[in-house]
Structure 1
Amino acid sequence: MAPAPPLTSLPGPRKYLGRIGAALDAGLNCLWIMPDHLVTQRIADDVFDYVVDRPDAITVPQADPVEATAQPIPLPSGTTGPAAPSWADDGFGDLDTSSVVVRALPVLEPAYSIVERLHFLDDGTTATDVLAAVVSSERLRGKVIALRGWEEPDATDVANTFVRFNALTKGRSSPAREHVRMLVAARQSDLPPNLLSRIDPMTAKVFWWWGSTTRLDTAVVVANAQPRVSGSATSGTQLHELVATEVAVEVAGPDLDVAAALSQRWDGRMSTLHKCLDEISFPVDGAEVVERRILSGLRQPPVELTGLWNAGAVDLWDGHVRITPAANNLSSGVIDMDTLIWRGQSRALTPLIDEQRHRFEDEIRRRIDPSLMDSLLFGETPDRRLPGGSGPSVLEIGQLAWLVHSGHATLPRGERELLNRLRSARNAVAHLRVLSDDELDGLARLLPG
């Protein structure tokens, strides 16, 4: 699939990352939990660098690579050592094996712990309690100590350091910006399962990469990925493009890669949408057991969906938990595609229908005698009154069509047909029905301009 633009270039993620920065500015320590797929694709490093691109941030040095050394196996006294290998037999007897050195498997030297590396941030403090020294360090006053959890070899070390750092920073009386703060970005697999229950909300804030992508971000991706068409566009062409854009945004939801792929590959016809999705689909582990009952708004990924969240297949978008439409092994009915298409068509058509309604109302009011219009609007008996109530300040599209069909107003044939098409489209949108390609083509063909 076509790649989406960098997350840090989109308004939704930038606003989300800004909230992390604001929490740090407020003197809070922050734990930032990211899905696996962002780390695997190296996107997590980009967004992490975006957040820590501030003058008060210091990144904890990465742990030294674990070194392997081969150590000889000492033989206990009184033993003769291993038997000579088969290749040591020269046909006349065993070769002298006294020079054969037997070595053990590599022995792993331990890497520096986080606290040991923080020791260097404080200019090699000699304090016995390094973490306490870092928290009270004059040299580190006002600094943000940032740590990539996915680069750490020991999840317990990450958790213990963060929890104790929070405990040491509790009850500080200095201004928030003068506090030493800690930002830990990590995956769930980089942290012990019980860490969240050990975090004091008075000194720390937990952020999940959840709901950071908005409708606007998806719309930006779709618009930027669309092929550029030369020449002037007609109103009909613009209608098709608008409907295709809104449907692509609604169907893709938070999956920006799907949004870019639809924008580049889909021809905008409702009848070909499913085929296009099939072409870009892929299996997602766990998708086959998802049920619609759990698809409701939450502040973090539901436990049932953490596997899909880590795979980048589910997110919170526009107030709803959305699963990527590219997952080809979803249970039947998890994604109501007709509803998504209807929502996209509704967003595209409703403003256009209202704009045309306003134009037709002005035209019909000019064509009807004012006294007749007053009689139709304020008639004393229902049979002499315009359907829809007494004295409407705005004439709805159905009322305008009734005025024409009843002979109270006359319009050219093309305009009458357009008015009928608009009424049918309005009724479809109002009754949650998806318009067919033929209906959209007929409406586009009759639009003026």
Structure 2
Amino acid sequence: MNTWMRNPKLLRWRNGVLLVLTLSTFIIIYNMKIPTTLRWIERLRDVPDSCPSSISEQSITPLGNTKHFLVSAYMDQRVKGFDIRIIGIFKRDSIEPLYCSFCCEGVFNKTTPATILINRAHFGFPFGATYVLCKIPESCDASHVTVLTQPFTKNVSDPIWLPIRNKQSDKLKERKLNFTVCISTLFGNYNNVLQVAQSLEMYRLLGVNRVVIYNTSCGPELERLLQSYSQEGFVEMVPWPIDRFLNPSSGWLFSEHGGDLHYFGQIVTLNECVYRSMERSHYVLLNDIDEIIMPYKHDNLISLMNMLEPQHSNVGEFLIENHVFPKKHFDPSGRFHLPQWEKVPGSNILEHIYREEPDRKTYPPQKMIIQPRLVEQTSVHKVLKNFGQQYYMPPALCHAIHVRTTQRESLKLEDLHEDKRLWHFQEKLIPNVDKVLKRAGLIN
């Protein structure tokens, strides 16, 4: 038996010393941890325990306690000082300070002040395309972001979260595409089935990998066709129920057409599509559903851009002249007035071979091929902010074929140019269109 056990006084003295040392250590550690503990308790009291508790699965999400709407959030570190770009629709006269808060590996993080930028292509409408720029806090691997009208307090409950897209992990999942076409927007029960089928198949022949379409409303036959394309994976349909939230205009100028938002949110969807395609597509074509950006010296867009890229690698915006082919003038031979297409709604673009020369004395309408990584903001006919240069495509090299109602009624047939470029593709185009129409149950 050792000395401590043989002497009760020494044993009591040792136990007393140990008790004092233990209590002192506990008190020191406790005092050191009080600020951290209080902050932790305060954090639990002010915000929900975990995130994200409610994730938006909509393409348009109302921002609580404001007149604004959020669309999507993307990782974008091209502008110094910011990591996240949220695309939204804001009422331009009701901008107030906003804050971004992040979900970092399932845990709330502190808020950071947001910077709000309005796309200047609002054409006088009360609502316009908007960007909310946010900085991610340090040591935060953010998966979701939410926007608040104030920093987190106990009054904030169950915020709506947006998933952050274009993260590095996303880039590794999807094969890089050569060309994406962005179409905005379908509305008014648009049902030009035959022309849409011909245009989509023409794009496939030209080397396009995917077509993104924002759909507010379309006719039943076109709905069937687009659903068939969507199931195949060539078309990506994005629901765009803007008319549930605002009174969208079917015109482009507020002073003439009225409403809340330009042309069913066309500027919003074009910019959303640019960021949606930024990390997955080398080039993006910005045009309407009834337009085809057509190379005239090359068999496809791949060959055209491969020729241009060595000389124009820093070009972010290739401007394409738009040429109208009036629907009222037809090929007199009637060789492409095909019986299997007679009952399909819409225009047959192969029958329209007469082209207007653009009026270059005024601002000629243009469409674009862009490199999305070099574009920050766009309008319909030109890029507004970019990180690259601009190049005007010579019309003899490439221009848009736009089969539509003429806006220049004074032009007579003899004033137009014969242009049968689409006929060069007819051997493949016609059977391909027949195939997709049959698949959708629109022809026998």
Q: If the TM-score is normalised by the length of the shorter chain, which range does it land in? A: under 0.3
Of Structure 1 and Structure 2, the greater helix share is in: 1
Of Structure 1 and Structure 2, the greater strand share is in: 2
- Report the TM-score when normalising by structure 1: 0.21
- Report the TM-score when normalising by structure 2: 0.22
Q: In terms of Rg, which structure is larger? A: 1
Determine which structure has greater relative contact order: mean sequence separation of CA pairs < 8 Å that are 6+ residues apart, divided by chain length: 1
